[in-house]
A and B are shown apart, each in its own frame.
Chain A
Amino acid sequence: GAGVSQSPRYKVAKRGQDVALRCDPISGHVSLFWYQQALGQGPEFLTYFQNEAQLDKSGLPSDRFFAERPEGSVSTLKIQRTQQEDSAVYLCASSIQTSPQETQYFGPGTRLLVL
């Protein structure tokens, strides 16, 4: 079946613009995660959903970052008033159950460049 998909794959924004990044998880997957990967670093946790409930948003770097998953499937990560330090690859992952030993399947990421 289809894997995790993300759109857009690349986004260039001017500083101060708002952006919205979309994630389509694998159908039926309960858990959905957003990670931010800066150049030369590993992915770092941003926020996490179980169905439509946002269980943990402790990784969001500022109140300019907002995520939602209103119907428990597709998720959107919104960044308001983008700054240059927001430039990174944003990865979405999903897993079928709520267990730490369930494999997380990653999408290809959205590469955001803020000029």
Chain B
Amino acid sequence: DQQVKQNSPSLSVQEGRISILNCDYTNSMFDYFLWYKKYPAEGPTFLISISSIKDKNEDGRFTVFLNKSAKHLSLHIVPSQPGDSAVYFCAAPPNSGNTPLVFGKGTRLSVIA
């Protein structure tokens, strides 16, 4: 049973427009969420996170929104740039200790110039 779901395997967006990547989770105990970005042949790199005590966290062009009642989060990138083309993973630690992350399957974003 997948605890973190990214239902869109891919997304194409024009340069300059907004990219919205979605993530759903099933475990109501999750209280912290992360987005990682992965380029081919590289490891995932941390992008942005959000704690469940917030509903929004912003860092430059990247904003993550959390809707706890819907068990849904989304990553907004605006404006999108060609260098944003990568696979984006939503992840969460399932426990309060330093436990490994549970990842979604990822969404491949292509930003078209």
Contact = CB atoms under 8 A, between A and B. Distances in A.
B44 A101 contact: no
Contacts of A48: 99-100
A18 interface: no
Interface stretch (A62-70, A77-85, A105-113): A105-113
A56 B105 contact: no
Contacts of A104: 46, 101
B98 A97 contact: yes
Q: Is the interface of B mostly helix, strand, loop or mixed?
A: loop
A99 B89 CA distance: 20
A33 B103 contact: no
B100 A59 contact: yes
Interface residues of B, number: 29
Contacts of B100: 33, 35, 45, 48, 56, 59
B103 A42 contact: yes
A1 interface: no
Contacts of B34: 103
Given A91-B44, A101-B49, A50 B98 contact: yes
Given A41-B105, A42-B104, A42-B105, A103 B46 contact: yes
Contacts of B45: 106
6 contacts: A33-B101, A42-B104, A56-B99, A91-B44, A103-B34, A103-B46
Given A35-B103, A40-B9, A108-B42, 13 more contacts: A41-B106, A42-B4, A42-B6, A42-B103, A42-B104, A42-B105, A42-B106, A56-B99, A97-B98, A101-B49, A102-B98, A105-B46, A106-B43
Interface of B: 4, 6, 9, 32, 34, 36, 41-46, 49, 51, 89, 91, 93, 95-106
